Amino acid sequence: MTAAAIFVSFCALAVSVYQSVILRNQQYASVWPYIEPGVQYSNHTFQLNIQNKGTGPAIIKSIHLELDGSPVTDYKDFMEKLLKEKRFQSMSIAPIQNSVISANGSVQMLAAELPDSLLIKSADFPQRTKIVICYCSIFGDCWNFIDGEVTKCKECK
């Protein structure tokens, strides 16, 4: 009789632990961010948007751009070289490092509009650039987005 009571107690403990693991995994999945940059061109405009397609907020820890194999340190210079133009009707630059993008939210990182008399000469952004974004969830899980591929990492550098 005692052995049966101990056995039932261990079974109840095992079920409880298993249920806790399932609930923990469900909790982590409910706040999983998934970052995806998007580029939009038209004849006169260029936009680089960073979108969070995940189920939870994304904390952007670092973002690095390269143009033609060289690191970008000046976004205005980057836009001039990418679009092969120095005259803009408008330009906006929003640094997103250390910011939070809500689930299904989007942030416009770079945007430029050329005067009507000028046209964007090339749409070769994917071929000439490399984007590396390191972001984390609210639970501290981190991922690297590198040119369309997302990999889990221990922490952002």
- Per-residue pLDDT tens for 27-61? 555 678 999 999 988 888 999 999 999 999 999 99
pLDDT for 66 equals: 94
Q: Is 69 left (phi over 0), alpha (psi -120 to 50) or beta?
A: left
Is residue 70 predicted with pLDDT exceeding 70?
yes
> What is the pLDDT confidence band of residue 116, given thresholds at 50, 70 and 90?
confident
The DSSP bridge partners found for residue 67 are 70, 129
What mean pLDDT value characterizes the chain?
86
What is the 3-state secondary structure of 131-151? Answer: EEEEEECCCCCEEEEECCEEE
With b for 16 or more beta-carbon neighbours within 10 A and e for fewer, the 91-122 pattern comes to beeeebeeebbebeeebebbbbbbeeeeebee
Residue 90: CB atoms within 10 A of its CB come to 10
pLDDT of residue 148: 87
The predicted pLDDT at position 23 comes to 62
**Confidence class for position 26, pLDDT limits 50, 70, 90:** low
| Least-confidence region, from 17-31, 39-53, 61-75 | 17-31
- Least Cα distance to 101 among 145, 71, 67 occurs for 145
User: Phi/psi zone of residue 28: left (φ > 0), alpha (ψ -120 to 50 degrees), beta?
Assistant: alpha
